[in-house]
A and B are shown apart, each in its own frame.
Chain A
Amino acid sequence: SQQGEEDPQALSIQEGENATMNCSYKTSINNLQWYRQNSGRGLVHLILIRSNEREKHSGRLRVTLDTSKKSSSLLITASRAADTASYFCATDAGANNLFFGTGTRLTVIP
């Protein structure tokens, strides 16, 4: 399966701390995306990193991509209670489909 796998499955941190979640995948990709999902709601796109990029920033988000290891990480700095959500990586291998992982459930404790 091309599905990405996030690690850890769940993460609990204090407000103000940084949160790091990882994604591993199995096949070559065109790009990798991260999405956020508040409980039971639709997914919201956070950031896209292309296969020829190694790092990308967007506000408090930092994404890295290591195509040799087929892995990516999402770092959320200075976390807030409002960051509590599930985070999914999605890989685009050019097959007209994004393959989503099972997600990391992040809880930020005020």
Chain B
Amino acid sequence: EAQVTQNPRYLITVTGKKLTVTCSQNMNHEYMSWYRQDPGLGLRQIYYSMNVEVTDKGDVPEGYKVSRKEKRNFPLILESPSPNQTSLYFCASTLSANTGELFFGEGSRLTVL
């Protein structure tokens, strides 16, 4: 089944404790992206990757890192999480940046205390 898989789905952590949210897609998509969703703000792009070893900042990259060592994986790293990073995070992918339809993971709800 074609899908984007995120883990963990739910996480409660404390300020400063490094964490990684994994994202994997099995559709051989070149383009992958991370979004955060906050009430009243919609979805905002954090980072995106056009292909392996190619990543770029989105609209709200501060406090986040990403890597794209393999085509299927695009982990989101919070080196020192802060409470303002409490949010619902979505990974998404598509065949290439201009092909349109994004496929989304089920989301990772992160709470930073």
Taking CB atoms, residues of chain A closer than 8 Å to B101 are 33, 45, 48
Tally B residues with Cβ within 8 Å of A: 29
Assess the A45–B103 pair: CB atoms within 8 A: yes
Question: B residues 38-54 with Cβ under 8 Å of A?
Answer: 40-45, 48, 50
Tally A residues with Cβ within 8 Å of B: 23
| Interface residues of B, Cβ cutoff 8 Å to A | 4, 31, 33, 35, 40-45, 48, 50, 56, 58-59, 88, 90, 92, 97-98, 100-107, 109
Assess the A98–B41 pair: CB atoms within 8 A: no
| Interface residues of A, Cβ cutoff 8 Å to B | 3, 30-31, 33, 35, 40-45, 48, 88, 90, 92, 94, 96-98, 100-103
With A33-B101, A41-B107, A48-B101 given, can you name 14 additional A-B contacts, CB distance below 8 Å? A31-B100, A41-B106, A42-B4, A42-B104, A43-B43, A43-B104, A88-B42, A92-B98, A92-B100, A96-B31, A96-B56, A97-B48, A100-B44, A102-B42
